[in-house]
């Protein structure tokens, strides 16, 4: 592996949903995983396939992910200034989805693809959430081996 693997997944980032459980009298408890992030995970998988290592990575790894989420329409002005942000538009993305759920979806996808043997190998995660503007969303994903131990 070179120093790091970097790729960009296009699409609207979605967080990994929590498993749901329900009780049905006479049938017991049933658990299911809502598939709300599957479309996003397939975008990550498509972008990652061209960067897959020949064998799963071993040893300690660090992952950096920059998520770009599209701004809602109400952040923009209207009329001939429709491409300009309103003065009241927030500078930072501080709403859902939570950054930890976004990271979990990406790392689960990369584990299924065989990037590494297990996501427990990831010792350092750095994640950011940014607004992407009107051009769309996605995520820049970087994976590298940890070279120094403190």
What is the tens place of the pLDDT at every residue in 120-145? Answer: 999 999 999 999 877 789 999 999 99
Numbers of helices and strands, H then E, in the chain: 2, 6
Candidate from 21-30, 69-78, 116-125 with smallest mean pLDDT: 21-30
**What percentage of the chain exceeds 90 in pLDDT?**
55
Class of domain 4-145: alpha beta
Average pLDDT over residues 77-93: 83
The Cα–Cα gap between 10 and 5 comes to 17
For the chain, the structural domain boundaries read: 4-145
pLDDT at 19 over 80: no
**What percentage of the chain exceeds 70 in pLDDT?**
91
The whole model's pTM is what? Answer: 0.83
What separation in angstroms does the CA of 30 have from each of 23, 34, 37, 38, 118? 6, 13, 20, 21, 27
Q: Kindly provide the b/e burial profile for residues 25-55, where b requires at least 16 CB atoms within 10 angstroms of the residue's own CB.
A: eeeeeeeeeeeebeebbebbeebbeeeeeee
């Amino acid at each position: 592996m070179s120093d790091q693997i970097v790729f960009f997944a296009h699409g609207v980032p979605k967080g990994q949903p929590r498993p749901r459980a329900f009780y049905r009298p006479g049938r017991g408890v049933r658990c299911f995983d809502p598939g709300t992030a599957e479309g996003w995970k397939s975008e990550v998988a498509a972008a990652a396939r061209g960067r897959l290592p020949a064998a799963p990575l071993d040893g300690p790894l660090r992952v950096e992910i920059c998520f770009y989420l599209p701004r809602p329409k109400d952040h923009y002005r209207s009329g001939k200034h429709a491409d300009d942000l309103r003065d009241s538009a927030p500078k930072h993305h501080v709403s859902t989805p939570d950054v930890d759920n976004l990271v979990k979806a990406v790392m689960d996808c990369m584990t299924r693809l065989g990037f590494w043997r297990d996501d427990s190998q990831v010792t350092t995660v750095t994640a950011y959430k940014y607004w992407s503007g009107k051009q769309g969303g996605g995520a820049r994903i970087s994976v590298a081996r940890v070279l120094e131990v403190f």
